[in-house]
Structure formats: structure tokens, C-alpha cells
Amino acid sequence: MSESQALWSLAEGEALSFKVGPGARELRVSSGRLWLTQAGRPEAPAEDVWLQAGQSLALASGSQVVIEAWPQAAFQLLVPPSACPALQARLGERRAAQGRNAMGGLAAA
């Protein structure tokens, strides 16, 4: 998948409401500006955030989010590594094995 296929676009004044998940996500603004509101809870009131191109925000799994373009925006909704613990463990094992192999090669030299 190319980066352009992973971009969402909002036109001037266009809004989008969605529930995050399963798992955490990262919203990264590629161009324009977004006004984002996360639904509140009794222990954490609703929060408004402005995001410019190049900025990102971590979104918790299950959170309700509303975004609006000001005046327009393109963004990505990414899955952070922390949302994939099984994949992180496999990559960690692979890196550890590569490290052992590299150290073994140095000892033999």
C-alpha cells in the first residue's frame, strides 16, 4: 500500500466522527489543519485539540473522536507498534538473534 492510499482527506468544513479501535491508533496530519474533539468521561472531560501538518496525536482504543478540517486536511490513522504486542515480541526475538549472530561473527574474527 502506498502512502497516498493510506491518506484520508477532509474538505473545508467537513467533519468525521468515529470510534477508535480495536487497539490504539495514532492520527497524523499530512497537510492542512484538523480540529479534533475526544468524547469526555466523568474522570476526563472532553478535549479539543488543533493539529497542524506534521503533528500527531495518540488515540486510545475505544475512544470516540470527531475531527473537522480547517480549511482542509489530509491525515493518516496509524496503528502504533504498542498496539501489536505479538508482533513486537517477534521483532524483539529476531533482533536478539541477529545480535547473537553478529557477536559470534566478531568473536571468530
User: For residue range 78-91, what is the model confidence (pLDDT) as tens digits?
Assistant: 987 777 777 777 87
How many whole angstroms separate alpha carbon 20 and alpha carbon 79?
10
Q: Model's pTM, two decimal places?
A: 0.70
How many whole angstroms separate alpha carbon 19 and alpha carbon 41?
15
Mean pLDDT, range 21-28, rounded to an integer: 91
